[in-house]
Amino acid sequence: GNSVTQMEGPVTLSEEAFLTINCTYTATGYPSLFWYVQYPGEGLQLLLKATKADDKGSNKGFEATYRKETTSFHLEKGSVQVSDSAVYFCALSDLGGGSQGNLIFGKGTKLSVKP
Amino acid sequence: SQTIHQWPATLVQPVGSPLSLECTVEGTSNPNLYWYRQAAGRGLQLLFYSVGIGQISSEVPQNLSASRPQDRQFILSSKKLLLSDSGFYLCAWERLGEDYGYTFGSGTRLTVV
């Protein structure tokens, strides 16, 4: 079945450090891929998405490229800030695979950025 | 504008009590709606989804049920809560078309004591 595996946390970085959170997926067909972020005390927010191979999603300095050959969608940011501290979820949607586009999440990676 | 509302934000309930969490969507019609749960130390888990009034699909056997009494209303219920029902519950609306994606409600933190 479809699944998402993402790097386990917690991840602790200093401000301005480079961030990579790995995410790989298993899916039939051509899923859409997402990164969601959950800030402390808030619900999930869409950070970025990519709907086909080689697409690059980007938002707020974060980027992720849909790599079909490696079935990956790693999240990167060149210089993190304290305000980036949150839990990040990688997810896929198998829309078109007959399951009404269910969103399948990874377990989440908690990021803490220290000043 | 298109929005999703979920309430309450926090809830503390005793074991054995009933549960009703409500989610409503505005600004769209016939949405696909979902209930997710995030248990402590675990990822998000799909509980139920609905593609229309009265149409509910369950992904995981559990102590919970869902109903879709109106097009833009999705309710998560339980007759008797268990300690293991504690967690963070999220309602989500699947946006189809060019702006494909999911919009989440603000979540309900449920603590069963």
Per residue in B20-56, pLDDT tens? 999 999 988 888 999 998 866 666 788 998 989 999 9
* Residues B112/B13, Cβ–Cβ less than 8 Å: yes
pLDDT reported for residue B61: 66
Specify the DSSP class assigned to residue A72: B
Instruction: Give A1 to chain B, closest Cα distance, Å.
Output: 13
Instruction: Give A49 to chain B, closest Cα distance, Å.
Output: 8
A64 compared with A38, residue with greater pLDDT: A64
pLDDT reported for residue B21: 96
**Where is average pLDDT lowest: A2-16, A96-110, B63-77?**
A96-110
Give the sign of the dihedral formed by CA B26, CA B66, CA B87, CA B94. Answer: negative
**A104 touching B (Cβ < 8 Å):** yes
A99 pLDDT higher than 60: no
pLDDT band at A86 (very low <50, low <70, confident <90, very high): very high
The Cα–Cα gap between B91 and A27 comes to 24
pLDDT reported for residue B15: 97
The Cα–Cα gap between A34 and A11 comes to 20
User: CA-nearest residue of chain B to A103?
Assistant: B46
A5 pLDDT higher than 90: yes
pLDDT reported for residue A18: 97
Contact assignment for B43 to A107 by CB distance below 8 Å: yes
pLDDT reported for residue B62: 78
**B101 touching A (Cβ < 8 Å):** yes
Half-sphere exposure of A52 (CA within 13 A, CB side): 0
